[in-house]
Structure 1
């Protein structure tokens, strides 16, 4: 294998757009026929819409006629039928070899199934992504992944990386530093807010030069939620090259490009759409819309026209790297927007205000959504140590007013209490007000 070549799979990665689209429909046709025959939720939705796979004769027909599937649809089907797979499983359960799930941060986890044990089912997106980031077969890599579709080491093994496995837990920070110095791995997957907090405290407690300890890493994968401004400052101080791992509409997982112009939506694996979150109508490339995804290779539990709730900008113009597949950047979640006194806010816009104070620098907070609009912002904010809470609340409110232009009502709680509310690597950023 020529390790100096630009692409892992040149023919696929640089395929002309006309050829990408020409290949998509035959693959899509096969998937929808399987799903309509085998998946109860898909048949239920299509029958209600009065369509069958025979009505779909083009990609345009698919986008015009086929109903969306949402997480609420899957949950409702599961509740009504007792099917843990929510009506999307297309194979007999005896054929499955592994079952995992999404993180479940915004609700009960989505069950995800595989028919293999070794990551050979759909790992080309990691092969391409690792290669793009400068990783090569034979490299060593640290994996600290908390939740992912399938085995956490499968993409490493499939590509040819030697995995070093650690728990996704701040208690492993000392081992991470020791292993990084001893084995000089080139890849770390995946860093998160929780581990970032642990690294900063480790640096304070020990005085260890983390930039030196981590100097061998060509790429550090960040996952779970956006990297806040202060977190990015820390990673830049340690000379870490951060790239995000992102869900592509629960159809697959993908990595941010090395030039950080977006994450690749590998269109030989997924048919992607970009729609108005309210009307469902297509929106132009480059504008903000909701990501909709349909897998083209998953014959086990395909989600057909799945509305991801991810608000993204998407482009199909060729990447500066020469790759021709679509790229997207996540801007927020469709349900995460909150309007306060005429100001539309997302978690990412609130982050800097929380990180501005020493006691809340970890950026742990939740937006508390009321049943009716209010003229102030409700937040639950995590703090470290034993601060003067009255002073902290006063300073935070002033910063929120100054940066966001709104008044606020705050509930201050210890960081550890907030971290108990989510999976190991993130917390729910939006919660409903309990009345």
Structure 2
């Protein structure tokens, strides 16, 4: 396990005024980053071929000889990509719960977590670590950038999905306050904010929606006044709700996303893209239907390779995320690449021969006061359909004329997309409750 991830406070903690937690790494020249990546890839490939039955089978079928991989360029040219479905197929065929990815005896594992399960059944995530679990520890730099410092209190929801954050917060010198952040707990969270005055809060969509319902009963700006910032994960907030959190509640929100299931990628104070930690991951953007890299700065599918996972690394994993990546130095001074999430591969729906994307529908849904939260789902059995069917969550407070709202939404969506939709209206709480994942809200569903 790489020391920079297992011990996130190896540098910087002695000076709380320092901008970067690990300045030598976060501002490393790009040629040094590439050399570091190449060194780790050349260690990774032979180990995976020898110890992982999934990679040995996949690469042998592609005629890959690990000894021929002598550079990053060789790696990109020779090693095949794979998808989550490939791992599931191997698991179903062999009964291996780790899908053939595990390359160490289970006795060496420190913990086994799971993915969120947003796109299917949760996948097992075996881990080896010494002082803190890999996923939370890789966000140490991001929390430092947010402004969190040793001695600060942090309010966070406990969870089983990639959970066990205790040791990480201890390594950061923080005081965690665990509180249920799911639906119906808004008043309790506000009480905890007022009592403990934390510097940091982890938000999920249900929490934000709960706070919105409590606006008339509490002074939310006062309740949030101790925060240096708050994190938000999962599906991004729509423009209207994000503006409310920022401007009315006074919270500086730092959103973060997945780095192709190898870790996380967070916004910095510039709020201009999500930083990929390239000492932990090699990030490529490829055409969705080929192995060809897309031109720099254009949209492609994120293909990720774990560089510090000694248990079950993902190697040229096709994430299904459509992203744009920029390797120019960020305004914050960091040299690691940033990504912008455009959408998910397969989320585009073809209706009567016309492509419809989630963002178009979202923009229309936000225009109505009752649905400005932007909570909706596209319902489809296949990618190509004859009818655009939407399930839209509305705020029922104050009484809502559903027929009138349905007609206004139908007009807004038709104007934006060019297709008249069929709309099912449900209270927003009921819609959120249908999500199978605590981390993400699925925008495209079958029923």
Give the 3 Å change call, closer, same or farther, for CA 124–317 of structure 1 in structure 2.
farther
Q: TM-score with structure 1 length normalisation?
A: 0.93
Identify the residue that residue 183 of structure 1 maps to in structure 2: 196
* Offset, 1:341: 4.9
Counting only pairs closer than 5 Å after superposition, residues 126-137 of structure 1 correspond to structure 2 as: 126-137=139-150
Partners in 2 of 1:371 and 1:431 — Cα distance? 10
CA contact (8 A) 2:303 2:318 kept: yes
Question: Number of residue pairs matched?
Answer: 430
In the alignment, does 2:220 pair up with 1:201?
A: no
Alignment RMSD (CA, Å): 2.0
Which has the larger displacement, 362-371 or 309-318?
A: 362-371
In the alignment, does 2:303 pair up with 1:292?
A: yes
Identify the residue that residue 98 of structure 1 maps to in structure 2: 111
CA contact (8 A) 1:367 1:429 kept: yes
Partners in 2 of 1:151 and 1:367 — Cα distance? 34
Which has the larger displacement, 53-62 or 395-404?
A: 395-404
Identify the residue that residue 222 of structure 2 maps to in structure 1: 212
Partners in 2 of 1:367 and 1:304 — Cα distance? 32
Identify the residue that residue 332 of structure 1 maps to in structure 2: 343
Identify the residue that residue 429 of structure 1 maps to in structure 2: 443
In the alignment, does 2:55 pair up with 1:42?
A: yes
Which of 272, 279, 285 is 2:290 aligned to?
279
Identify the residue that residue 7 of structure 2 maps to in structure 1: none
Runs of 4+ in 1 over 4 A off after TM superposition: 120-124, 145-148
In the alignment, does 2:362 pair up with 1:351?
A: yes
Secondary structure at the residue paired with 1:28?
helix
CA contact (8 A) 2:278 2:337 kept: yes
* Offset, 1:360: 3.1
CA contact (8 A) 2:136 2:165 kept: no
Which of 204, 207, 219 is 1:192 aligned to?
204
Partners in 1 of 2:365 and 2:349 — Cα distance? 17
Partners in 1 of 2:210 and 2:163 — Cα distance? 26
Q: TM-score with structure 2 length normalisation?
A: 0.90
In the alignment, does 2:90 pair up with 1:77?
A: yes
CA contact (8 A) 1:119 1:150 kept: no
- Deviations along 1:87-127, whole A, 9 cap, x unmatched? 11112122223222111111111211123475254655322
* Offset, 1:254: 2.8
CA contact (8 A) 1:359 1:383 kept: yes
Give the 3 Å change call, closer, same or farther, for CA 172–403 of structure 1 in structure 2.
same
* Offset, 1:218: 1.1
In the alignment, does 2:161 pair up with 1:151?
A: no
CA contact (8 A) 2:349 2:383 kept: no
In the alignment, does 2:264 pair up with 1:248?
A: no
- Deviations along 1:333-358, whole A, 9 cap, x unmatched? 11111233565332233223223334
Secondary structure at the residue paired with 2:235?
coil
CA contact (8 A) 1:230 1:352 kept: no
* Offset, 1:223: 0.6
Identify the residue that residue 333 of structure 2 maps to in structure 1: 322
CA contact (8 A) 2:128 2:310 kept: no
CA contact (8 A) 2:241 2:372 kept: no
CA contact (8 A) 1:368 1:430 kept: yes
CA contact (8 A) 1:256 1:264 kept: yes
Partners in 2 of 1:203 and 1:68 — Cα distance? 48
Which of 215, 238, 241 is 2:249 aligned to?
238
Partners in 1 of 2:73 and 2:357 — Cα distance? 33
Which sections of structure 1, spanning at least 5 residues, go unmatched?
none
- Deviations along 1:228-284, whole A, 9 cap, x unmatched? 122112202101111112110111123212211211111111111111112231112
Give the 3 Å change call, closer, same or farther, for CA 372–265 of structure 1 in structure 2.
closer
CA contact (8 A) 2:233 2:440 kept: no
Which has the larger displacement, 388-397 or 149-158?
A: 149-158
Partners in 2 of 1:194 and 1:276 — Cα distance? 35
Give the 3 Å change call, closer, same or farther, for CA 102–312 of structure 1 in structure 2.
same
CA contact (8 A) 2:127 2:309 kept: no
Give the 3 Å change call, closer, same or farther, for CA 210–168 of structure 1 in structure 2.
same
In the alignment, does 2:73 pair up with 1:60?
A: yes
